[in-house]
Structure 1
Amino acid sequence: MSSMEEGGGAVGEVSTDQTIINNNTNNDSVSIDMRCTDVPLSKGELANLQSLDKALDGGQLNLTANPLIRKVPSTLRRTEDFKKYFKPKVISIGPLHHDDPTLHESKELKLKLAAHFVKNSGVDKGSLYRNMKKEIDGLRKCYDPKELEQYSNDKEKLAWMFFVDGCAILQAIYMRYGTYDDFYAVYGQLFIKNDLLTFVYSDMLLLENQIPFRVLELLTSSSDGEQFMNAIKRFIDDTVITPAEDRFSNEARTKRCHSYPFRNVKELKKAGIWLKASQTSCLTDISLRRKIMFTANDRR
């Protein structure tokens, strides 16, 4: 680069050329010995290296492993509209929402349902509970271990939870699919509104509100328990597998829709709310319509 003064020639020159010196004049390749063993590593560094092997093994899908009951991914929990698919509204089933303070009132309801199941099953309650506690280790394996950390040293609490929740499920569903005499006998003693039972049935289908099916099998293993298991199968069939309208005639549908009437229908009619029987027995087939009616005095 040269610098010029006005009216004159070059006053100085600075060379910017840089010479790259190649020390490898013999064109020999430079290599690094990868078998380096003379550098000591701490326990933490060894653990970091082992984590790579664990990550590689964990990435392989185990097709033979049984599916586990667990909470939904955190990415779905952030969406407010998705909560209705995994968070119960009335009753908690299983350990994932057992300590939810908004569902503590359901404990009394579950105890009442469980008591009626034990009474109707005709089996000693001590024997039913002992069978549950006997298989508690196997029942624990149905859940993600992270979800049961608080019960790691408390098998008694977990066994009692499975016992009460399982009995409550069987009794609630039997009230829907049992005989009319059984329904009204229990209905009158529990003082449960039919609309509350509808939410109970809906909560039983939520992703995070589940218990192992083995719990129900243990509670219905006696000869008298077959009627309760049949009710469970009908409940699953009607609400999950096949639409109820394909399996019942119009006469049967009407009978089912009117079998468990609301106690306050007259009060609703007085308030201007009219009810019409649904064409199906699906819990989701409930709709509301708003209609404005004018009286003779309003038209003046």
Structure 2
Amino acid sequence: METQPNGYVSELKKELNEMLEVVVLPEESETHVQCIYKVPQIIRQNNPQAYTPRIIAIGPFHSPRGSVSDNNNLNEMEKLKLKYLKGFLNRTNLCVDDLVFKVQEWENKIRNCYAGPVSFDSKDFLKIIIVDACFIIEYFLRYASYSQWKENDPILSTRWLLNEIYRDLILLENQLPFFVLEEIYNLANISLELPLSFIAFTLWYFRRHNLQSIISEGLHPKHFTDLLRTFLLPSTFDFAQKKMAQTKIEHVYSVSELSEAGLVFEVSESKCLLDWKFEKGVFKMPCFHMHDSTERYMRNILAFEECHISDTSSRYISQYLCILDFLINTEKDVRVLVDKKIIVNWMSDANEAATMVNNLCKNVTMPDFNSKYVSLCHGLNGFYENPRNKYKAIFVHEYFNTPWKIASTITAVLLVLFTLIQAVCSIWSLVK
């Protein structure tokens, strides 16, 4: 083999050394706080639109800056962001120099929050962070003063645009580190009639998902998607993982099967979706409102857990949705839960709701289940497999599964009864 000239080898060594100089190993980084991720392709392929902003791009992953985007909505919103930036500066004592100086100090920390490749140089990267952060803060401030802005603000005066921005702000790939928003908000020292922290503004903005009325004290989300996950986590019962011989769940009987076996479904008063309770043949489940946007919301929280939480036993939302997938197989299962007011279905029909639940956990790693859910699933399966309940379920399924089967079963019973009565009468007349 012909050897390469020494000059080529020296150049290669120099290039490799230069490349390695800027590489920081995770274990060597003091600011290794990756929390914003590109959704893995194997998960994204199930529904790419659920992870992609439609109206507004936040952060570097989907930013049209520096490239020509084929999404006209994203390009139009870039112009609107600058108006919001100017509005934010006008209401504060800050100037552009102040923002650039402070955000430049945080650049490495901000970059380390993004797990995917960020190709922008420092100038463009800082521009994205400053414009997007100031847009969000100004938008939240205007939203909190809706009555003052609804007539002349281009977003607040357009209901469909409000809804679309809300949906884009929950996307995992469409996030800014929360500390950036808080720091800029605090730096601005905005004079308000009622002084509020930025986390308080954020809780108010996302209040429709804060069913447990979680308060801002001690709350330090990594970003908006993480905050929405926090809204779902249990706060009134112990969800800690206890040592158990089995942490995998491979099967749970469906809602319709359990119902046919005599299990009673009741709606729980708890506001935490994860708070399931099974006792003495009664399964209590909190009310779950299913909307057209539910899939988008749940998919991004699932993706965050998949990318961020290495201990699968702590992926609580994944566990909840996996068991819900076991329980709901068909539209019949959805109808049972709708009848019991456990599910409020705002989607087009029961089949669409069942399909959504069945598709949510596709290609998501099956988690190790916490002890509470393992015990619950064993209890549900044990109830169904009790011989008395099992044969009752078989009987109900075979003879009372549809209106036609019910009618034919009743007709057959009546026919047998009338035949028996006729036979008894005949025998009685002969004896008499």
Q: TM tier, shorter chain?
A: 0.5 to 0.7
Alignment of 1:119-198 (within 5 A): 119-144=90-115, 146-148=116-118, 150-151=119-120, 154-178=121-145, 180-181=147-148, 183-184=149-150, 187-190=151-154, 193-198=158-163
**Structure 2 unmatched ranges of 5 or more:** 1-24, 26-30, 214-288, 295-344, 349-432
Task: State the TM-score, normalized to the length of structure 2.
Answer: 0.37
Deviation at 1:113, TM superposition (A): 1.9
Decide whether aligned partners of structure 1 residues 122 and 190 sit closer, same or farther in structure 2, where only a CA change above 3 A counts: farther
Q: Quick one: distance in 1 between partners of 2:93 and 2:292? A: 31
Letter paired with 1:136: E
Helix, strand or coil for the counterpart of 2:117?
Answer: helix
Does the Cα contact within 8 Å between 2:36 and 2:114 map onto a contact in 1?
A: yes
Letter paired with 1:98: S
Deviation at 1:112, TM superposition (A): 1.7
Letter paired with 2:202: I
Q: Deviations over 1:27-85 (max 9, x none)?
A: xxxxxxxxxxxxxxxxxxxxxxxxxxxxxxx9xxxxx9634311101112222xx2343
> What is residue 81 of structure 2 aligned with on the other side?
110
- Tell whether 2:45 aligns with 1:78: yes
Q: Quick one: distance in 1 between partners of 2:143 and 2:106? A: 29
Deviation at 1:93, TM superposition (A): 0.4
Which consecutive segments of 4 or more residues in structure 1 shift more than 4 A? 225-228, 282-289
Larger Rg: 1
Letter paired with 1:188: N
> What is residue 203 of structure 1 aligned with on the other side?
168
Does the Cα contact within 8 Å between 1:131 and 1:218 map onto a contact in 2?
A: no
Decide whether aligned partners of structure 1 residues 70 and 89 sit closer, same or farther in structure 2, where only a CA change above 3 A counts: same
- Between 1:111-120 and 1:162-171, the stretch displaced more is 111-120
Identity %: 23
Q: Deviations over 1:107-156 (max 9, x none)?
A: 11211222222222342332123211221111111011x421x12xx111
How many residues matched?
182
Deviation at 1:176, TM superposition (A): 2.0
> What is residue 87 of structure 1 aligned with on the other side?
52
Deviation at 1:180, TM superposition (A): 2.5
**Structure 1 unmatched ranges of 5 or more:** 1-57, 59-63, 245-279, 290-300
- Tell whether 2:164 aligns with 1:231: no
Task: State the TM-score, normalized to the length of structure 1.
Answer: 0.52
